Amino acid sequence: MNSPHQVMLLSEMKPGQFADSFVLLVSKERSITRDGKPYFRAHFRDNSITATAMIWSDTTWFEDCESNWTEGEFYKVRARYDESKYGPQLDIDRIRLANADDEADGFDPGFYFKRSRFSSEEMFQELTEITNTEISDVPLRNLVLDILSAYEEQIKTIAAASKNHHAFTGGFLEHVLSVTKTACYLADKYLAYYQKMQPPLNKSLVVAGAILHDIGKLRELEYKPHGSQYTPAGRLVGHILLGRDLVREHAVKIEGLNPEMLLRLEHLIVAHQNLPEWGSPIAPHTPEALLVHYADDVDAKFHMMATTLENVLPGSQEEFSSRDNALRRSIFVGLKSNE
Amino acid sequence: MNSPHQVMLLSEMKPGQFADSFVLLVSKERSITRDGKPYFRAHFRDNSITATAMIWSDTTWFEDCESNWTEGEFYKVRARYDESKYGPQLDIDRIRLANADDEADGFDPGFYFKRSRFSSEEMFQELTEITNTEISDVPLRNLVLDILSAYEEQIKTIAAASKNHHAFTGGFLEHVLSVTKTACYLADKYLAYYQKMQPPLNKSLVVAGAILHDIGKLRELEYKPHGSQYTPAGRLVGHILLGRDLVREHAVKIEGLNPEMLLRLEHLIVAHQNLPEWGSPIAPHTPEALLVHYADDVDAKFHMMATTLENVLPGSQEEFSSRDNALRRSIFVGLKSNE
Amino acid sequence: MNSPHQVMLLSEMKPGQFADSFVLLVSKERSITRDGKPYFRAHFRDNSITATAMIWSDTTWFEDCESNWTEGEFYKVRARYDESKYGPQLDIDRIRLANADDEADGFDPGFYFKRSRFSSEEMFQELTEITNTEISDVPLRNLVLDILSAYEEQIKTIAAASKNHHAFTGGFLEHVLSVTKTACYLADKYLAYYQKMQPPLNKSLVVAGAILHDIGKLRELEYKPHGSQYTPAGRLVGHILLGRDLVREHAVKIEGLNPEMLLRLEHLIVAHQNLPEWGSPIAPHTPEALLVHYADDVDAKFHMMATTLENVLPGSQEEFSSRDNALRRSIFVGLKSNE
Amino acid sequence: MNSPHQVMLLSEMKPGQFADSFVLLVSKERSITRDGKPYFRAHFRDNSITATAMIWSDTTWFEDCESNWTEGEFYKVRARYDESKYGPQLDIDRIRLANADDEADGFDPGFYFKRSRFSSEEMFQELTEITNTEISDVPLRNLVLDILSAYEEQIKTIAAASKNHHAFTGGFLEHVLSVTKTACYLADKYLAYYQKMQPPLNKSLVVAGAILHDIGKLRELEYKPHGSQYTPAGRLVGHILLGRDLVREHAVKIEGLNPEMLLRLEHLIVAHQNLPEWGSPIAPHTPEALLVHYADDVDAKFHMMATTLENVLPGSQEEFSSRDNALRRSIFVGLKSNE
Amino acid sequence: MNSPHQVMLLSEMKPGQFADSFVLLVSKERSITRDGKPYFRAHFRDNSITATAMIWSDTTWFEDCESNWTEGEFYKVRARYDESKYGPQLDIDRIRLANADDEADGFDPGFYFKRSRFSSEEMFQELTEITNTEISDVPLRNLVLDILSAYEEQIKTIAAASKNHHAFTGGFLEHVLSVTKTACYLADKYLAYYQKMQPPLNKSLVVAGAILHDIGKLRELEYKPHGSQYTPAGRLVGHILLGRDLVREHAVKIEGLNPEMLLRLEHLIVAHQNLPEWGSPIAPHTPEALLVHYADDVDAKFHMMATTLENVLPGSQEEFSSRDNALRRSIFVGLKSNE
Amino acid sequence: MNSPHQVMLLSEMKPGQFADSFVLLVSKERSITRDGKPYFRAHFRDNSITATAMIWSDTTWFEDCESNWTEGEFYKVRARYDESKYGPQLDIDRIRLANADDEADGFDPGFYFKRSRFSSEEMFQELTEITNTEISDVPLRNLVLDILSAYEEQIKTIAAASKNHHAFTGGFLEHVLSVTKTACYLADKYLAYYQKMQPPLNKSLVVAGAILHDIGKLRELEYKPHGSQYTPAGRLVGHILLGRDLVREHAVKIEGLNPEMLLRLEHLIVAHQNLPEWGSPIAPHTPEALLVHYADDVDAKFHMMATTLENVLPGSQEEFSSRDNALRRSIFVGLKSNE
């Protein structure tokens, strides 16, 4: 039915089909067969599925793979697609780097990466402004500004997670900014309500905590546009501890920072996931930590639900989404008329 | 040290002490001894402790107690205070209704009841205005207005709970108004963020749900200024189901109310406590239910924490509160200098 | 080995095989491709497996599918069977409605549907008799009779669940009748044992509760002979709440119904699944609710175990069943001799 | 108010009161003071409270206590009652064994012990008859008869538990007989329903299992009319394992007993508490074990609820019982009119 | 690419490939088709995968399979390998028993079975020596020696589990010896530390308990060199109870064995898995039981982790193992340089 | 019975008794009455109970208490002992510092403090020797030595916990040394067993980890001979994070320390409590972390059990200890003869 060399998406290929396709090299892993020969497992994907090409040492592409193929680059491949017990497979006949001319054939790198729909520049600027206007405690404000400027590039690009929520370029910043705004709202509100608390609710701390609660993600995840991965420290120590480290490292340089304020900020980071089974060794013991926990949690969970509803196909007659989302729950789409 | 007939607070009396005191009759319970004689257990309290007076059938006050003593009224008693294995006891020597003249002796009924620090009138008006301005779906708005006007008096007076949080006169309204404002904030925010959701986030539903999420409390609790109590239906069916009933009863009278909208509102009420072990038989399956759950939960938990910090004694040298609060957790008060 | 147009069961076809088969159209779902063209996913099954036919807009059967194919009807198809990553697939070459003449070729609609082995007529009559003889409280009896007669047809046909237990035509009635008989037995027994309970065990309530405990299934599930499905209200509100609604709707019409009796009946329905994690927001707080819970639970769990043992193949040498049953547990079949 | 030497119940005495009382000696424990002198802690009770008398070596009653006082006997004491941080205390002035003449003063030993309201003789006879008529498998029947006759006296007297349910003389037999009858009912019923199970439901096994499921209680508890206590083996090994031992010991003597039948009976005993956290290391894997679990569980739980409602005081105005019962749950008593 | 009759491993064959292979017959199961004809499902494996050959009654190998094929024997097969929805399949063209001559073609039975790297003879001797030197209580020592000698052959060969840990020939003995050594170490250590315990730590009991803690595995598992399987008693009663039985059976023959010592040993066996959800109906209530629990648990868990790290492929660039191990956890392998 | 001014232990005084006693001032807390007057709550204890003296501003001892009374000092008091709803109370008549002459009256400060039965000097020396001989990795050894020498005094004195286990002076060192020895044993053992692990088990890391696993206790607890207390950082951040901080602070100064080694050591500290609900945000992902977890856990739990058995009174006839110990479990003491 299809001509052999047509250009099509990897995810549209059927078992046994032979076609051209633009694909992203996600990773290549070197390994060794039982009889001691090296080979590579190269993983290519489009925006929805990933297929593996086995590159044996005695085959055409071994040397090219070893020397030249680069993770994160796009390639045009001519290959046979198959499905084995190990999942989707590609048997590569030809391969070359994709280039500008390919765009005439419909190649669009942006198609392969998800990114925030908001400008990282603008989000970062807005976060900086909030820092300047909403954190009245000067040393605390300086601490936040110091961290923001030290990691500006990373903050502007990394994802908030490897999957689950905001798992795309700029997702970290999008999430942090949203959490911070909600935290400002809640701080203003409850500061006005509960005026007899001793000590009073500290809005500077709420805002600083919201901005920094997930800062350990900078060390927990190794950002790649084609998908973030956990670092060894991320898996062995975790972003909560790594984030507290980062804050403490910068805190020593901030003149006049109140030690109790720093302790409260550390506690807020440690406690922001609320329960041991959700990752926090200690539950919130201050009102500021409580507010940041809620501002964070509602943003993450709402994102999961919103994403599910954004991906409902127009014209679908299903009344509920599938359970295949980060909430592991079918979301109600709406009643369908029966006529 | 004290003259015998001095006027003092019940909670200041020591075992064996004999004194005058202004107390509130919380309840009187009729019961029968093993040998078939009736007696009353009468519970009196001030603003912090409750003591029991046993009124046997062959004693002075039995007839007066049976005929005249009224729950919710204040009395001036002259009595001996003691502590037995059944808790604090009062042995009444004299008793009469408190009256206006007693204010000269320091009697102040307001001292015995906790109530919201906000005016119920103003809160109710604000809630009505939010209904009018933020619920654009006309039948849904009419449903909310119908319920608000039908139960205006109750809504203005009842507590949000028998204990735990907002357990005081006007507490229900204070909590609902606060939840509603947060829900408005979150709805506006996420409506702007996630414009491709299908269907879009329905702000009218979020606001209506926030106002009505706890409406079953009107049937779950029997309000008394001296402490709310669960009704039998409250214990056997629960406020979640009772609230959904109330909404459905009014919904049949509302012209043009979309059945799917009503179903979503019912779901929101059913799901607002999020997890089975927290009381919701079904978890949130719509974004509107998710937002109301968070707006509700942060308000309840923050109230618990704020109340704890409001009650820290000035001059206390403790760095943490006791664990004796609704969160069962010591709240951090602050570092104390050691000099 | 097989001639191409032989008639065989769908579940006997091997990948790549082309044959004729009688199949049931379970559902057809309209959807839209990325490039905007409509298509159908049609699901056909025999008594054990389900296969999907993709009907693209530019293929032979699209129009026929769109206009004529009807869920719940039987078809004779000539098709190629295959297994893809999306599961079993059918590529349809010919299709027509099955008809009476096909029975000569071995077509038997009864083969495709599971149904209770008991007569719905007789079961319904028995349930009505129990109502008349065992519920001595007249208004309560009238309430049950009113509901039984109002939904007689549905009660006679629906399944007790979409899967898990009694998931077949008439299964609801089979389960309810069995629960009711056990409940009668337990009520008689414990009424005789515990004569000093205050109030005494109310057999009328136990029996009425047993009959009505699952009545919400009428609204939770949409019955189809080819498999029941949850309604939106079933998923968003649940059969426990829907069943209580139904009872309350009918209760308003029953003269003389004691409000406390109705409250106890509502509680029984709400509590019949015993624990929050099993679906009941409130645990049994009355002896009647306790008895109905056990009568219900033993019947459901015994059905799961019995069905597993009914399906053991004769001649099998396995000492335990597989774990692939509703109890997720291997059931002991028996020791096998080793000679 | 009272004359000093009046006869009254221990539980009616007030701190500081001096009176005569008939009491049961529950236990006396010898211990040693820090400075090496022996003393006794003697525990006396009436039907509701227990008080301790400290008998020091240099006091009047030491020798009499050491030589003569016997656990399980009744005494008339003249003593001062007090409440210390160690609980109720008795300071004994006079003490002697209660005797027949004391009945003129109202002494009634039956008042101090709870026992089954059914005759142990009749219950035992009924259980034997059920064994003979309902267990058609002859060796299995012989096994049960052998055990019943070997432990007839114990079976007629012991309690089913040290507290929780059926914790009184004859309670074990009352519970076992009730479970057995329910098990017969369920076995008959489901045997008729599910005729295609392979193997078929074995009623003999269900009945034998019901009779023997708790037989380990004979070794787990040391029966005393004044309250059963766990044996060391009961605490270190548990009644489930001890019961299986007992059955196996007798099984070796039974001619013709099918080994698979014995294995199924052992499994039934091991699994009858259903879940690890309820005490069964293995869940029911046979239909017979499932039925006995339910017959047992409903009887135990109903007893807890029934006992609670039997103990509601006549004339009480409470709508719910206290939570101080084995279910840790307030049981609904009924609505109270408000006039 | 491959010549058809080459000899290759089953696990190296690709779908559709036809080749010779040496395989182990793991099991053959007789069953019956819907139309009443018998057939066999024969399971063959190499050291990593298992494939099924369906032997229909009207095919070549049926009679040979029925009469001659023997579980646990090796065969040389010429067959076509395929993968169906039922997993890997073999279509057998020729089959014969493997024999000594085949070793020239690389056939090595040892390749197919995992076994302990330690000599069973030496391990058994070491365990006997420990018994003789470390158990000073003579009757207890005799009990252990009696059991060791009665089951010497089984103890030397069986696996410690069907999977999870030490699941290979000799694995039981390897695990028991290791646990016993650790238990000796801990007993010596804590005996020296805590000299005032009453009663003192009993090292004889710790050592005997370590040797016997898992002795029920002899009855729980049916050892086969090609993989152990649970016995019916193993699944219905469990190794904890079966082990205690075995000990008690031997204990009756041991002169002078202290009943309390036996009770403590039984408790130790019953409690050695520590928690109900891990299989122990009762938690450790003696220090000896506590020590054996830890000695056992650390050995099992360390084996799981060590095995995972032994199986990391040399040259792998992965920093963590897969989660596909008995701990369900990725084990850290090490940082990889990035150059 | 007693002369009024006899010297007796606080814990031997009865309510209402007036006597002399040597007591330790545990703490004094300044607070303010409702009417604004200052007062002190002074807590005195002997080796088993604590009593409170209220020192009002208008009473004799206020000024002395405010100016002179010092926490951690011993006093001789003449006081009346009582028990109120606030617990044991002392009404002080006379008070002065205890002094050397009082030893003639039996005063012994050592009686009031628990401390390790081992010499801190010798334990510290032993730990240093283990460091030198068992940690072959030089930079890692230097890191441990650096930490040991920096905190030598604290390490020699602090307790391992505020209660639960090793809660006495020197308890931290006693526990750490014991854990380290067990860890050495396990490391040697498994290093020999599993020689093919990649990477091999690192004994240096196991030993260093054992020594440092609880090092955060130095910052979590504020040591006082009369009872350790949590620091604010201990409650808000926890000893696991604080210990990792301490290690990292010293690690930066150690030349040649391998970054992966440090990461593994950090992970070990983070993971040593194994499960989130036991305090570790991340489970052990390395074999070294696994071993230290077990070495730590068995030592803590054995200590709890041993302490319980050390405290059984000689001559006691109880077969089980009370449940009032850190394991919340009755420990088996032994069978008691019945004659």
Each residue's pLDDT tens digit, F241-287: 999 999 999 999 999 999 999 999 999 999 999 988 888 999 999 99
Q: Is residue C5's pLDDT more than 80? A: no
Q: What is the pLDDT of residues B39-92, one digit of tens each?
A: 888 999 887 678 899 998 888 899 999 889 988 889 999 999 987 766 788 999
pLDDT of residue C1: 33
Q: In percent, how much of chain C has pLDDT > 90?
A: 60
Q: By residue range, what is the domain housing residue F211? A: 120-306
Q: Is residue E86's pLDDT more than 50? A: yes
Among candidates B219, B215, B201, B293, which has minimal Cα distance to B247? Answer: B215
With touching defined as 3+ CB pairs under 8 A, do chains C and E touch? yes
Mutate which of D320, D323, D331, D336 to test chain B, going by most B C-beta atoms within 10 A? D320
Q: Total structural domains in chain C?
A: 2
B285 touches chain A (CB under 8 A): yes
Q: State how far Cα B70 lies from the chain centre.
A: 22
8 Å CB contact of B32 and D315: yes
8 Å CB contact of E267 and D238: no
Structure confidence at residue C314 as a pLDDT band (50, 70, 90): low
Q: Is E279 helix (H, G, I), strand (E, B) or coil?
A: coil
Kindly list the residues from chain A whose CB atom is less than 8 angstroms away from the CB atom of residue C83.
none
Q: State how far Cα A51 lies from the chain centre.
A: 22
The complex's ipTM? 0.83
Q: What is the CATH number of the domain that holds A132?
A: 1.10.3210
Helix axis angle for D287-310 and C287-310, nearest 10°, is: 180
Q: What is the pLDDT of residues E264-305, one digit of tens each?
A: 999 999 999 998 888 899 999 999 999 999 999 999 999 999
Whether C336 maps to a domain, the answer reads no
Retrieve residue D43's tokens. Answer: 């525990």
Among the partner residues B196, B301, B312, nearest to A310 by beta-carbon distance? B196
With touching defined as 3+ CB pairs under 8 A, do chains D and A touch? no
pLDDT of residue C303: 96
If asked whether residues E184 and E285 sit together in one domain, one would say yes
Retrieve residue A305's tokens. Answer: 């639900």
* Greater pLDDT, A15 or B145: B145
Rounded mean pLDDT, E211-231: 89
Kindly list the residues from chain C whose CB atom is less than 8 angstroms away from the CB atom of residue E85.
15, 83
E191 touches chain F (CB under 8 A): no
Structure confidence at residue A103 as a pLDDT band (50, 70, 90): confident
pLDDT of residue B339: 38
Q: What is the CATH number of the domain that holds C62?
A: 2.40.50.140
Mode of pairing for the β-strands spanning A18-32 and A229-230 = unpaired
| CB B151 within 8 Å of CB B250 | no
If asked whether residues C173 and C281 sit together in one domain, one would say yes
Distance CA E199, CA E196 (A): 8
Helix axis angle for F287-310 and F171-193, nearest 10°, is: 130
- Cβ-proximal residues to E158 (8 Å cutoff; 6+ apart), any chain: E169, E171, E172, E173, E217, E218, E221, E223, E228
Contacts of D among chains (3+ CB pairs under 8 A): B, C, E, F
Whether B336 maps to a domain, the answer reads no
Rounded mean pLDDT, F204-219: 97
Retrieve residue C153's tokens. Answer: 């047809």
Distance CA A30, CA A39 (A): 6
Of B112, B143, B163, which residue is a domain's last? B112
If asked whether residues E48 and E142 sit together in one domain, one would say no
8 Å CB contact of B236 and C280: no
Kindly list the residues from chain D whose CB atom is less than 8 angstroms away from the CB atom of residue B85.
83
pLDDT of residue E3: 42
Of E91, E112, E133, which residue is a domain's last? E112
Kindly list the residues from chain F whose CB atom is less than 8 angstroms away from the CB atom of residue D38.
315
Distance CA D284, CA C304 (A): 12
8 Å CB contact of A232 and E315: no
Q: What is the pLDDT of residues B82-124, one digit of tens each?
A: 877 667 889 999 999 998 888 888 888 777 778 898 999 999 9
If asked whether residues E61 and E78 sit together in one domain, one would say yes
Question: pLDDT tens digits for chain D (339 residues)?
Answer: 334 467 888 888 887 888 999 999 988 887 776 566 788 889 998 876 788 999 988 888 999 998 899 888 899 999 999 877 667 889 999 999 998 888 888 888 777 777 888 999 999 999 999 999 999 999 999 999 999 999 999 999 999 888 778 888 899 999 999 999 999 999 999 999 999 998 999 999 999 999 999 999 999 999 877 678 899 999 999 999 999 999 999 999 999 999 999 999 999 999 999 988 888 999 999 999 999 999 999 999 999 999 999 887 666 778 998 877 889 899 999 998 653
Kindly list the residues from chain C whose CB atom is less than 8 angstroms away from the CB atom of residue A316.
31-32
- Omega into C199 within 30° of 0, i.e. cis? yes
Structure confidence at residue B35 as a pLDDT band (50, 70, 90): low
F198 touches chain A (CB under 8 A): no
D277 touches chain C (CB under 8 A): no
With touching defined as 3+ CB pairs under 8 A, do chains E and B touch? no
Rounded mean pLDDT, F286-302: 97
| 3-state percent breakdown (helix, strand, coil) of chain E, nearest 5 | 45, 20, 40
Rounded mean pLDDT, A6-23: 86
If asked whether residues D90 and D214 sit together in one domain, one would say no
Query: C-alpha distances in angstroms, D131 versus C158, D256, D260, D263?
Result: 41, 18, 20, 19
- Cβ-proximal residues to E319 (8 Å cutoff; 6+ apart), any chain: A232, E332, E333, E334, E335, E336
If asked whether residues A194 and A134 sit together in one domain, one would say yes
pLDDT of residue D67: 87
Kindly list the residues from chain C whose CB atom is less than 8 angstroms away from the CB atom of residue E30.
315, 317
8 Å CB contact of F232 and B319: yes
Kindly list the residues from chain B whose CB atom is less than 8 angstroms away from the CB atom of residue D315.
30-32, 38
Q: Is A137 helix (H, G, I), strand (E, B) or coil?
A: coil
B29 touches chain D (CB under 8 A): yes
Distance CA B256, CA B264 (A): 15
Whether D194 maps to a domain, the answer reads yes
Distance CA B31, CA D315 (A): 6
If asked whether residues C176 and C252 sit together in one domain, one would say yes
Distance CA E69, CA E81 (A): 20
Among the partner residues A314, A332, A335, nearest to C32 by beta-carbon distance? A314
Q: Is B177 helix (H, G, I), strand (E, B) or coil?
A: helix
A278 touches chain C (CB under 8 A): no
| CB B233 within 8 Å of CB B242 | yes
Rounded mean pLDDT, C210-225: 92
pLDDT of residue D213: 98
pLDDT of residue A328: 87
Whether B339 maps to a domain, the answer reads no
Distance CA A320, CA A330 (A): 6
pLDDT of residue E278: 85
Of A62, A83, A112, which residue is a domain's last? A112
Chain E segment 66-85 residues within 8 A of F by beta carbon are: none
pLDDT of residue A228: 82
Q: What is the pLDDT of residues C232-289, one digit of tens each?
A: 999 999 999 999 999 999 999 999 999 999 999 999 999 999 988 888 999 999 999 9
With touching defined as 3+ CB pairs under 8 A, do chains C and F touch? no
Chain A segment 241-260 residues within 8 A of F by beta carbon are: 241, 244-245, 248
Q: Which of A112-116, A255-259, B299-303, F126-130 has the lowest mean pLDDT?
A: A112-116
Whether E318 maps to a domain, the answer reads no
Q: Which of A74-83, C240-249, E105-114 has the lowest mean pLDDT?
A: E105-114
CA distance D325 to chain B (A): 17
Mean pLDDT estimate for chain C: 89
If asked whether residues F172 and F288 sit together in one domain, one would say yes
Closest-CA residue of chain B to D314: B32
Q: Cβ of B182: how many Cβ atoms within 10 Å?
A: 25
Distance CA F266, CA F284 (A): 11
Among the partner residues A291, A312, A335, nearest to B260 by beta-carbon distance? A335
If asked whether residues B147 and B258 sit together in one domain, one would say yes
Among the partner residues A241, A245, A263, nearest to F233 by beta-carbon distance? A263
8 Å CB contact of A332 and C32: no
Whether E19 maps to a domain, the answer reads yes
If asked whether residues E220 and E141 sit together in one domain, one would say yes
E320 touches chain A (CB under 8 A): yes
F283 touches chain A (CB under 8 A): no
Q: What is the pLDDT of residues F157-190, one digit of tens each?
A: 999 888 778 888 899 999 999 999 999 999 999 9
Whether A3 maps to a domain, the answer reads no
CA distance A331 to chain B (A): 5
Kindly list the residues from chain B whose CB atom is less than 8 angstroms away from the CB atom of residue D320.
232, 235
Q: Cβ of A35: how many Cβ atoms within 10 Å?
A: 5
Rounded mean pLDDT, A149-162: 93
Structure confidence at residue E314 as a pLDDT band (50, 70, 90): low
Among the partner residues B317, B330, B332, nearest to F29 by beta-carbon distance? B317
With touching defined as 3+ CB pairs under 8 A, do chains F and B touch? yes
| CB B320 within 8 Å of CB B331 | yes
If asked whether residues B83 and B231 sit together in one domain, one would say no
User: What is the phi/psi pair of residue A27, to 5°?
Assistant: -165, 155
Q: What is the pLDDT of residues E56-75, one digit of tens each?
A: 888 889 999 988 998 888 99
Structure confidence at residue A318 as a pLDDT band (50, 70, 90): confident
Where b means 16+ CB within 10 Å and e means fewer, F124-135 reads bebbbebbeebb
Q: What is the pLDDT of residues F228-252, one digit of tens each?
A: 889 999 999 999 999 999 999 999 9
Q: Is residue A33's pLDDT more than 80? A: no
Q: What is the pLDDT of residues F91-118, one digit of tens each?
A: 999 999 998 888 888 888 777 778 888 9
* Greater pLDDT, F13 or D36: F13
User: What is the phi/psi pair of residue A229, to 5°?
Assistant: -130, 150
Q: Is B323 helix (H, G, I), strand (E, B) or coil?
A: coil
Q: Which of C150-154, E145-149, F262-266, F274-278 has the lowest mean pLDDT?
A: F274-278
D47 touches chain B (CB under 8 A): no
Q: Is residue B192's pLDDT more than 90? A: yes
Query: C-alpha distances in angstroms, C275 versus C80, C235, C272, C284, D291?
Result: 49, 19, 9, 9, 20
Kindly list the residues from chain C whose CB atom is less than 8 angstroms away from the CB atom of residue B238.
270, 281-282
Q: Is F40 helix (H, G, I), strand (E, B) or coil?
A: strand
Distance CA C76, CA C81 (A): 14
Whether A96 maps to a domain, the answer reads yes
Contacts of B among chains (3+ CB pairs under 8 A): A, C, D, F
Angle subtended at Cα C116 by Cα C115 and Cα C119, rounded to the nearest 5 degrees: 115
| CB E291 within 8 Å of CB E264 | no
Q: Which of A132-146, B135-149, B316-330 has the lowest mean pLDDT?
A: B316-330
Kindly list the residues from chain A whose CB atom is less than 8 angstroms away from the CB atom of residue F267.
236-237
Q: Cβ of B11: how many Cβ atoms within 10 Å?
A: 15
- Cβ-proximal residues to F187 (8 Å cutoff; 6+ apart), any chain: F201, F203, F206, F207, F288, F291
pLDDT of residue D2: 37
A96 touches chain B (CB under 8 A): no
Rounded mean pLDDT, E120-145: 98
8 Å CB contact of C306 and D287: yes
Rounded mean pLDDT, E30-40: 73
If asked whether residues B211 and B107 sit together in one domain, one would say no
Place of tokens 């267990």: D135
